[in-house]
Structure 1
Amino acid sequence: MTAGLTARLERISTDGKMVNVPMDHGITIGATKGLRDIESTIDAVTRGGADSVLTQKGLAGRVHSNKNGKGYVVHLNASTTMGPDANDKRMTGTVREAIRAGADAVSMHLNIGSNHEPRQLEDLASVTETAHEYGMPVLAMTYARGPGVDEHDAENLAHAVRIAEEMGADVAKTAYSGDAESYGTVADAVGIPVIMAGGDPQTDRQMLRNVRGAVDAGAAGVSMGRSVFQHDDPEAMARGVSTIVHDDADVPEAMDLAGLAE
C-alpha cells in the first residue's frame, strides 16, 4: 500500500472505522428531500460525526466548503429509476475527473448476479488499476442483486464482497443480512474493511440496531444514505450512527446521546 493510498484512506475514516453518507441519489431518484439544499445536509452530517460524504463529480463544488474537513468520495457510475433497468449501472466519471474534483476516494456500484455483472466487473477492474496508479482508494459497493438472487443471504453477500477484494478494491460495501451472526460470515470473507449499506429506511431504532449488529459482526462501519440525509434531523441521525461505530455505544445509549426519540 502506497503512502498516498494510506493517507487518503485515513481521510475517509477514523482509526480504521468508517461512517460514510452517500448522497449520489440525485441521479437515481432526483432532487429528493435532503438533496435540494445539499450544502446544509453535508454540513449537518459531518458535524454529526460522518467521516466522509459521497456524491457524483458534478456536485464537488457544493461539497468542499461544507464538509467540515471530512473526507470526500466521488461515485463513478449510476442508473435512474426512470430508465429500463435500475441494475444497469453505467460509468459516469473517471478516476482522473475525481482527482480534479478533489476526491479522497472513488466508488463504484456493482450488482452481482444481475445481467449486467460481466460489464460491471470489467469496469471495476479498470477503475482499480487506474486508481491505484494515483494512490486513490476504491470503495466497491457490491450487492447481491439480480434475477432469483436473495439480496440478504449471507453467503451471497460474502461472495459479493469477496469479488470486491479479488478485483483490487480497498473497501467493500454490501447489504446487511439481518443479524450479527450471519453478517460475521460476510465480514470474515475478506481481508479488507467491510462496511454495511443502510438499505431502505426503517425506524431510527431499527437502523441503529442494524449498525450495532454489523459492527458486532466485524464490519468496519457503515455507508448509510437515505436514512441519514432524508431524516428530519440528519445531524442527529449521523451522530447516533457515529456513536455506535466510533464509540462502541449500544443502541439505547446512541439514541439518547443523539437525541433520537424513535
Structure 2
Amino acid sequence: MDAGTGKAARLARIGTDGRYVVVPMDHGITIGAVAGLKDIESTIAAITRGGADAVLTQRGVAPRVHPNKNGAGYIAHLNGSTAVGPDANDKRTTGTVTDAIRAGADAVSFHINVGSDHEPGQIEELGRLTSEAHEYGLPVLAMTYARGPGVDESDPEALGHAVRLGEELGADVVKTAYSGDSESFEHVCESTRLPVVIAGGEPDGDRETLAAVRGAMDAGAAGVSMGRTVFQHDDPEAMTRAVHLVVHEDATPGEALRESGLAVEA
C-alpha cells in the first residue's frame, strides 16, 4: 500500500467532497489567549457542531482539541511568530511531521510569506516539510500569503504566484487571501490545480464575510480557512453554520444568514 492511499483518506477527514471549512485557532502564539481561545474547548465544540470540517491549532493544544471536535478533522500547524516580536513575517518552525502524527493530526499546515525577507528560508522549510509529510501519507495545507515590502496583499497576480508556489513545493491544499472580488480571484484559482481556500482576515461583518466566501466559491475556490471571523464571533456555531452553507450547499449570503439563525444585517 503506498502513501497516496493514506493521504487521500486523510484529505477526506479534513474536507467533504473536495470542499473545506477549516477553522484555524493557532492564534495563541501570534496574539495570545484572546476571546474565543481562553476556553478553546467550548469554541471547538461550537464550531464543529456548526459544520466545520477541520480544526487547526499548534500541536501543543491537541489534547484540548480531540475531546471536543465532534468527529471533525485535525490539522497541526508547524510554524509561527508573535505580533510583539521583531518581525511577524518571520515564521519559525514549531514542530515536525512526527510531532504532528503523535498529536493525532490528519494533516499539517505551514505558513509562508511570499515576497518577505524570510521567503527563501520558508521555501526551503516548506519543501522539506512536504517531502517528509508525504512519506507518511500526511497532507499539507500551505498558507501561501503575498506579504512583504512593496507587496500588495490582495493583488491577484501576487496571490496567484503565491498559490502556484505552494503547488510547486508539493502542497496538497493552498490557502491565501481573497483578492476582493470574484472576477479577479478567478486568476488565483486558475494559477494552480490545487484546491484553494481563502483566509478570513479581520472580522468585517457577517454579510461581508459571507459575500467574500460566495465570491471566492464562484471564482473556483474550494472553501475557507477562517479563524477570528469565526472563533471570535458572538455565536461561533451559527457563523460556522453560515459559512458551511455557502461552501457545501452553495447558499447565497442571505440564505446562509437566515438558515443559520443570524440576524440579517441592514
What is the TM-score of this pair, normalised by structure 1? Answer: 0.99
Which one of 152, 171, 186 corresponds to residue 184 of structure 1?
186
Q: Deviations over 1:39-67 (max 9, x none)?
A: 00000001101000000000000000100
Partner residue, 2:120: 118
Residue 199 of structure 1 deviates from its aligned partner by 1.1
**How far apart, CA to CA, are the structure 2 residues paired with 1:82 and 1:157?**
26
Structure 1: 5+ residue runs without aligned partners?
none
Partner residue, 1:85: 87
Q: What letter is aligned with 1:236?
A: A
Residue 201 of structure 1 deviates from its aligned partner by 1.0
Q: Deviations over 1:57-83 (max 9, x none)?
A: 000000001000010000000000110
Partner residue, 1:105: 107
Q: What letter is aligned with 1:231?
A: H
**How far apart, CA to CA, are the structure 2 residues paired with 1:82 and 1:195?**
27
Equivalent residue pairs, number: 262
Partner residue, 1:231: 233
**How far apart, CA to CA, are the structure 2 residues paired with 1:72 and 1:253?**
29
Partner residue, 1:10: 12
Residue 157 of structure 1 deviates from its aligned partner by 0.2
**How far apart, CA to CA, are the structure 2 residues paired with 1:93 and 1:40?**
25
Which one of 204, 207, 219 corresponds to residue 205 of structure 1?
207
Following superposition of structure 1 onto structure 2, how do residues 12-91 of structure 1 map, counting pairs within 5 Å? 12-91=14-93
Structure 2: 5+ residue runs without aligned partners?
none
Partner residue, 2:161: 159
Q: Deviations over 1:204-246 (max 9, x none)?
A: 1000000000000000000000000000100000000000000
Find the residue that maps to 1:2 and give its secondary structure: helix
- Where has structure 1 moved over 6 Å in runs of 4 or more? none
RMSD: 0.6
Aligned: 1:220 with 2:222:
yes
Partner residue, 1:253: 255
**How far apart, CA to CA, are the structure 2 residues paired with 1:122 and 1:259?**
45
Which one of 196, 215, 220 corresponds to residue 194 of structure 1?
196
Find the residue that maps to 2:12 and give its secondary structure: helix
What is the TM-score of this pair, normalised by structure 2? Answer: 0.98
Find the residue that maps to 2:63 and give its secondary structure: helix
Q: What letter is aligned with 1:121?
A: I
Q: What letter is aligned with 1:8?
A: R
**How far apart, CA to CA, are the structure 2 residues paired with 1:116 and 1:122?**
10
Partner residue, 1:130: 132
Residue 259 of structure 1 deviates from its aligned partner by 1.2
